[in-house]
Amino acid sequence: EPEVTQTPSHQVTQMGQEVILRCVPISNHLYFYWYRQILGQKVEFLVSFYNNEISEKSEIFDDQFSVERPDGSNFTLKIRSTKLEDSAMYFCASSEEGQRNTEAFFGQGTRLTVV
Amino acid sequence: AQSVTQLGSHVSVSEGALVLLRCNYSSSVPPYLFWYVQYPNQGLQLLLKYTTGATLVKGINGFEAEFKKSETSFHLTKPSAHMSDAAEYFCAVSDKIAGGYQKVTFGTGTKLQVIP
């Protein structure tokens, strides 16, 4: 069964360092998303991406964050200068269409720990 | 904006007992509702979804949920809990955002513990 894969599963980084979280969406999907879940809190929408551009971003997704689809398969989330409060589980998701009733398939997540 | 509220951050049931996880939603448009499950150290897996049509939807692993518009609820049930059901369950609603793209808004989650 096709699935969204994320690497690494766990990343520890020092405050102020740049991190890149990687995702391989399902191959025929056209819509890509990043969500995050701070420990003990709800899963929150960060950004959606379609046709090589951001279609929507939340207030969390400030200038420290960027997304890119560097090639035909990968979808990355970059945090330029990490802060302690960026520690969270980051989920990548993809969907075949962007309609509300379309299922978004989620990856297993990358746990980011900023020390 | 749409939202979901899950009552009870932790629910414990005995193996074989009924599982009932509560979810209420708020929506200005007909809602599209989902339940996701997250097993330890794993990603989010779709259990079931309601978009249109039959209000009782069946999902994987014997779970089902009923959309009740009058109560703005979408509670998740399973007649008989199994040890393997221990996980965290998220109710979610799908919103349409600028540009027409989907955004999923999640509830805070309910951790289900199954007692042998």
Residue B102 pLDDT level (bands cut at 50, 70, 90): confident
Decide if pLDDT at B100 tops 60: no
Looking at chain B, the whole-number percentage of residues with pLDDT higher than 70 is: 95
Average pLDDT over residues B25-46: 86
How far from B112 is each of A53, A100, A108, B43, B81, CA to CA, in Å?
A: 38, 28, 19, 16, 10
Looking at chain B, the whole-number percentage of residues with pLDDT higher than 90 is: 68
Cβ B39 vs Cβ B82: under 8 Å = no
Residue B115 pLDDT level (bands cut at 50, 70, 90): very high
- Coil/strand/helix, residue B110: strand
Average pLDDT over residues A94-114: 86
Q: Which of A38-47, B37-46, B59-68 has the lowest mean pLDDT?
A: B37-46
Cβ atoms within 10 Å of B101's Cβ, excluding its own: 20
Q: Which site among B23, B44, B67 would you substitute to test the A interface, given the most A Cβ atoms closer than 10 Å to its Cβ?
A: B44
pLDDT at B96: 63
Q: Which site among A100, A101, A111 would you substitute to test the B interface, given the most B Cβ atoms closer than 10 Å to its Cβ?
A: A100
What CA–CA distance (Å, rounded) separates A21 from A76? 6
Decide if pLDDT at A82 tops 60: yes
Chain A contact for B45, CB < 8 A? yes
Q: Provide residues of A within 8 Å CB-CB of chain B.
A: 4, 6, 31, 33, 35, 41-45, 48, 50, 55-56, 91, 93, 95, 98-109
Length, in residues, of chain A = 115
Which class for B86: exposed (0-12), middle (13-18), buried (19 or more C-beta within 10 A)?
middle
Q: Do A91 and B32 touch (CB under 8 A)?
A: no
Q: How far is A80 from chain B (nearest CA, A)?
A: 24
| CA geometry: angle A31, A26, B23, nearest 5 deg | 70
Q: Which residues of A touch B105 (CB under 8 A)?
A: 45
Chain A contact for B109, CB < 8 A? yes
Tokens of A89: 């589980």
Chain A contact for B103, CB < 8 A? yes
Mean pLDDT over each residue of chain A, to the nearest integer: 92
Mean pLDDT over each residue of chain B, to the nearest integer: 90
Q: Do A91 and B42 touch (CB under 8 A)?
A: no
Q: Do A42 and B100 touch (CB under 8 A)?
A: no
The secondary structure of residue B16, as a DSSP letter, is T
Q: Which residues of B touch A42 (CB under 8 A)?
A: 90, 106-109
pLDDT at B53: 87
Highest mean pLDDT among A2-11, B17-26, B101-110: B17-26
- pLDDT digit string, tens, across residues A3-58: 899 999 999 999 999 999 999 999 989 899 999 999 888 899 999 998 899 988 99
Q: Which residues of B touch A56 (CB under 8 A)?
A: 97-99, 101, 103
What CA–CA distance (Å, rounded) separates B109 from B18? 19
More confident residue, B52 or A114: A114
pLDDT at B10: 95
More confident residue, A98 or B39: B39
Q: Which of A34-38, A90-94, A108-112, B42-46 has the lowest mean pLDDT?
A: B42-46
Sign of CA dihedral A59, B42, B47, A72: positive
pLDDT at A97: 78
Burial per residue of A34-64, b for 16 or more beta-carbon CB atoms within 10 angstroms, e otherwise: bbbbeeeebbbbbbbbbeeeebbbbebbeee
- Coil/strand/helix, residue B116: coil
pLDDT at B104: 85
Cβ atoms within 10 Å of B79's Cβ, excluding its own: 11
